[in-house]
Amino acid sequence: EPEVTQTPSHQVTQMGQEVILRCVPISNHLYFYWYRQILGQKVEFLVSFYNNEISEKSEIFDDQFSVERPDGSNFTLKIRSTKLEDSAMYFCASGGDDYGYTFGSGTRLTVV
Amino acid sequence: AQSVTQLDSQVPVFEEAPVELRCNYSSSVSVYLFWYVQYPNQGLQLLLKYLSGSTLVKSINGFEAEFNKSQTSFHLRKPSVHISDTAEYFCAASRGNRDDKIIFGKGTRLHILP
């Protein structure tokens, strides 16, 4: 069963530091997404990415956030200057023609 | 705007009893519907999805959901739950274009009682 891989599984960072969360989507998928889940809350959409550009972004995805697909296989989410409220589980997802939206296991980001 | 409502934040049920987790959606356009399951300390796994065709969709582990357009619902059911079904269940919807985002409900925690 193909899967979406996210690294690291857990990252602790100091407030104000930059973090990069990494994802390897399923190889033949074309649509990529980042979501986040603050502890105990719902899963929230951050951004979708297709054809090397952002398709849609939520109001959460402000100038502190950016996404990149640097080498055709990885899909990264960068947070430039982390805040305490960025602490959450971040999920990467990829989608193909079957509308399957496969999610990774997530990266738990803790900002201290 | 599209939204997904899961009215029950927690559902306790005895082992081997039936369960229904409720989900309603609001959308003025055609919609694709999903149920995802999140086991403790794990990621989101697709349980089942409705895209088109038969309104009753089933998963490999005994869950089923029925798309009801007139009631804008997509309730999840299982006739007999097992302790291993303990998890958080998220209903979700998408407008159906391939690059559209999924909107999630707040989730329902299924708590199986021995």
Which chain A residues have a beta carbon less than 8 Å from that of B32?
99
Which chain A residues have a beta carbon less than 8 Å from that of B47?
none
Instruction: Give the mean model confidence (pLDDT) for residues B25-29.
Output: 77
Do the beta carbons of residue A101 and residue A4 sit within 8 Å?
A: no
Phi-psi region of A101 (alpha: psi -120 to 50; beta: other; left: phi over 0): left
- Residue of A23, A38, A40, A36 lying closest to A94 (CA atoms): A23
Name the residue of chain A whose CA is nearest to B50's CA.
A99
A34 or B26, greater pLDDT: A34
pLDDT in tens, B47-87: 999 988 889 999 988 999 999 999 999 999 999 999 999 99
Which stretch of DSSP H or E encloses residue A107?
Answer: strand A107-111
In this complex, which of B43, B92, B98 lies closest to A105 when CB atoms are compared?
B43
Q: Are B44 and A91 in contact (CB < 8 Å)?
A: yes
Q: Are A101 and B105 in contact (CB < 8 Å)?
A: no
The mean pLDDT of chain B is 91
Which stretch of DSSP H or E encloses residue A45?
Answer: strand A43-50
Residue B1 has pLDDT above 70, yes or no: no
pLDDT tens digits for chain A (112 residues)? 778 999 999 999 999 999 999 999 998 898 999 999 998 888 999 999 998 899 999 999 999 999 999 887 899 999 999 999 999 999 999 988 776 688 999 999 999 9
Residue B28 has pLDDT above 70, yes or no: no
pLDDT grade, residue B29 (50/70/90)? low
- Residue of A104, A98, A18 lying closest to B34 (CA atoms): A98
Asked whether the CA dihedral A46, A49, A54, A55 is positive or negative, the reply is: negative
In this complex, which of B46, B96, B106 lies closest to A101 when CB atoms are compared?
B46
Distance from CA of B78 to the nearest CA of A (A): 22
Best of A46, A101, A102, A103 to mutate (most B CBs within 10 Å, chain B): A101
pLDDT at B27: 73
